[in-house]
Chains A and B, each alone.
Chain A
Amino acid sequence: MSLGARVAGILAAAALAQAWAAALALAESGAEAFARNDFAAAAELWRQEAAAGSAQAKFGLGLISDLGLGVPRDAAKAMRWYLEAAEDGYGNAQFNVAVMLDAGTGVPRSLPAAAVWYARAAANGHHRAQYNLGLLYAGGEGLPQNADLARYWLGRAGEALPAAREHLGVLAPAKEGQRVFAAPVVLAGALVGAGEARKAELVWSAPPGPPAAQFLLEIVRLPGPGERTGTVVQALATRASAHMVPLSAPGLYAWRVSLVDPAAARYAARPWQHLSGTAGTAAPALPEGRVTLLVQAEDALAAYLARELAESFAEAGLWVRIEPARDRASVTSVRYAFRDDADLAARVAEFLPVLGAEDALLSPEIAAAPGEIVVRLVGGPREPAP
Chain B
Amino acid sequence: MIGYRSILRTAAASASLCLAVAAAAQEAAQEAPESLKIYFETGSAAVAADQAATLDQAARLFRDGNPIVMIVAGVADTVGPDEMNLALSVRRAEAVAAGLADRGIPAARLQVLGRGNSELEVQTGDNVAEPENRVVEITWR
Contact = CB atoms under 8 A, between A and B. Distances in A.
Interface of A: 34-37, 39, 59, 62-63, 66-69, 73, 75, 92, 95-96, 99-100, 102-106, 127-128, 131-132, 135, 160-163, 166-167, 170
B30 interface: yes
B36 to A, nearest CB: 12
B127 interface: no
Interface in B30-80: 30-32, 49, 52, 55-56, 59-65, 67
Contacts of A68: 20, 23-24, 27
B99 A103 contact: no
Contacts, number: 79
A95 B103 CA distance: 14
A132 to B, nearest CB: 6
Contacts of A92: 64-65
B52 A128 contact: no
B67 A66 contact: yes
Contact of A73 (B15, B19, B27): B27
A132 B56 CA distance: 8
B104 interface: yes
A105 B102 CA distance: 24
B113 to A, nearest CB: 22
A100 B68 CA distance: 13
B64 A163 contact: no
Contacts of B99: 163
Contacts of B52: 163, 166-167
A66 B61 CA distance: 13
A39 B32 CA distance: 28
B102 to A, nearest CB: 4
Given A66-B67, A92-B65, A103-B31, A135 B60 contact: yes
7 contacts: A66-B63, A73-B24, A102-B60, A103-B61, A105-B31, A128-B64, A163-B52
A128 B59 contact: yes
Nearest to A128: B104
A34 B14 CA distance: 12
A99 B60 contact: yes
Given A102-B60, A163-B99, 16 more contacts: A37-B19, A39-B20, A59-B65, A67-B17, A68-B23, A95-B63, A96-B65, A100-B63, A105-B30, A131-B59, A132-B60, A135-B56, A135-B60, A161-B102, A163-B56, A167-B52
Contacts of A36: 16
B67 A67 contact: yes
B32 A128 contact: no
Contact of A67 (B15, B24, B62, B103): B24
Contacts of A161: 102-104
Interface in B76-108: 99, 102-104
Contact of B62 (A59, A62, A99, A104): A99
Contacts of A59: 65
Contacts of B129: none
Contacts of B19: 37
B21 interface: yes
Given A59-B65, A103-B60, A163 B102 contact: yes
B97 to A, nearest CB: 13
What are the nearest 8 A-B pairs in CB distance?
A163-B102, A162-B102, A128-B104, A92-B64, A96-B63, A63-B65, A68-B24, A163-B103
A333 B128 CA distance: 85
Interface in B5-33: 15-17, 19-21, 23-24, 27, 30-32
Contacts of B30: 75, 105-106
Contacts of B65: 59, 62-63, 66-67, 92, 96
Nearest to A73: B27
A338 B4 CA distance: 73
Contacts of B104: 127-128, 131, 160-161
